Amino acid sequence: MNALTPYAAFFMRLAVGGVFLIHGIAKFEHGIGATAHFLASLGFPFATIFALILITIETIGALCVLLGILTRAWAAAMALEMVVAILAAKLPNHGNFELEALLLAGAVTLVALGDGPLSVAVRFKPSST
């Protein structure tokens, strides 16, 4: 293990959280209705509810991941979202899913790594001394 290993989570949080946030802001700007319409076109029931869930994961969740707050929980939600995106949207339409696969891998990595030492949450954790 080298000296930078403890900081791997920080760089992964920046990458995964940043991409999710960009996509979440775009969904937010287009509106819940547009996101729900897209989900309904894929055959999702309760599309409006799922649109709200997606926008929440991709904005609030992404901000939490970027800051290192509840990283494992939000990353697990992001990983699940990417599995559903690949299986429901990309594969049936023979679409490219490289981005979704990379985000899935990054999110799973964050589930394993957690917040890391460069996070807001580390300030609230009890010291081990």
Indicate the pTM of the whole model: 0.92
Name the residue range of residue 105's domain: 8-115
* Mean pLDDT (whole number) for 66-90: 97
- Is residue 69 domain-resident? yes
- Is residue 126 domain-resident? no
- Is residue 120 domain-resident? no
- Is residue 110 domain-resident? yes
Q: Say how many domains are in the chain.
A: 1
Going by pLDDT thresholds of 50, 70 and 90, the confidence category of residue 129 is low
**C-alpha closest to that of 116 among 50, 54, 65, 43:** 65
Residues 109, 76: Cα–Cα separation, whole Å: 10
Q: So what's the pLDDT on residue 20?
A: 98
Residues 124, 127: Cα–Cα separation, whole Å: 9
Residue in the structure block whose two tokens are 């930078």: 4
**For residue range 17-70, what is the model confidence (pLDDT) as tens digits?**
999 999 999 999 999 999 999 999 999 999 999 999 999 999 999 999 999 999
**For residue range 111-128, what is the model confidence (pLDDT) as tens digits?**
999 999 999 988 877 766
Who wins on pLDDT, 1 or 24? 24
- Is residue 40 domain-resident? yes
- Is residue 122 domain-resident? no
- Is residue 1 domain-resident? no
Going by pLDDT thresholds of 50, 70 and 90, the confidence category of residue 5 is confident
- Is residue 49 domain-resident? yes
